[in-house]
Structures are given as structure tokens and as C-alpha cells.
Amino acid sequence: MAVTETQALLILPPIAMGIVIGIYELVLIHRDENFNNSHWLGHGLHTFIPIIVGLLISFNVPFFLEQFGGSLPTWIQNELLIRITIALIIAIKINAISAVVPGVAGRGMREKFIHSLVVGALVAIAPYIWPFIAPFAPTWLGGSNVGQ
């Protein structure tokens, strides 16, 4: 009898990585802001939702391909291609969020697009980084650190 390995749906690791990447995005928004009051924090919190949703999708690409991969065209069954597409969508979404929020003279916060691309790239490579972070993360977060 052959044994097959099944992929589990990951929820807590993407949320944890989403918080870390979201904080990094807040730092970038604060650095790129066009106004000098404290609205950057309230407006910057909007970026957490797309980042976490993107990470939930990115982390679970193998799970969804295992479930539905047979019914998809072969060109869309490439994990890396799916993650790059997610990264571009997240970068565009984050850049659009920063452009809509009003700043000085109605210009918006105007985060630099390269910063949005960096955050999108972090969303795409987070599943590849997680195995290196997992040994240091607590077990309730999906890591393998049991504490000593």
C-alpha cells in the first residue's frame, strides 16, 4: 500500500509573518509619508489585511494545488508563478492604498513603488523563509520551538 503525504492548510504562520511584514510596511509608509502628523499609523494599518490575505494564499498554494490541481490548466499549476502573481497583486494593492490616503495638498502618502514591490516580494518568498524561522517560533504559532 502506497503512502501519500498530504499538505495541511496553514493559518497561524501566515498571520505571524503578516504581522512582521505589516510592521515593516508601516516603517516604509512612515518614511515615505508626505505629511508630518500622526495619521500614517491609522492609514498604514489598512495594509495589514491585504498582506495577511496574500500570505494566506501564498503559504497554501501547495494545499490548493493538491486539492484542485488536476482541474487547472498546466500553466497555472506552477507554484512559483502563482506566488509571483500574488506578489504583483499585493504590490499594486499596497501602492493604491497609499495613493488614496490624503496627504499634503491632496497628493496622498505616495509610497514609493519600489517599497510596494519589496513588500510584495516578501509575501511571495515568505513560504520559503518560514522553514528557517519555524525553529525559533513557538509551537502554538506553527513553529517547532518547544521552549526550554
pLDDT at 105: 45
Spatial contact of 115 and 108, defined as CB atoms under 8 Å apart: no
The string of pLDDT tens digits covering residues 4-33 is: 666 788 999 999 999 999 998 888 777 766
pLDDT at 40: 63
CA separation for the pair 94, 117 (Å, rounded): 9
Burial class for 36, CB neighbours closer than 10 Å (0-12, 13-18, 19+): exposed
What pTM, to 2 d.p., does this model score?
0.83
CA separation for the pair 112, 22 (Å, rounded): 16
pLDDT at 1: 60
The string of pLDDT tens digits covering residues 80-137 is: 999 999 999 999 988 887 776 655 445 555 677 888 899 999 999 999 999 999 898 8
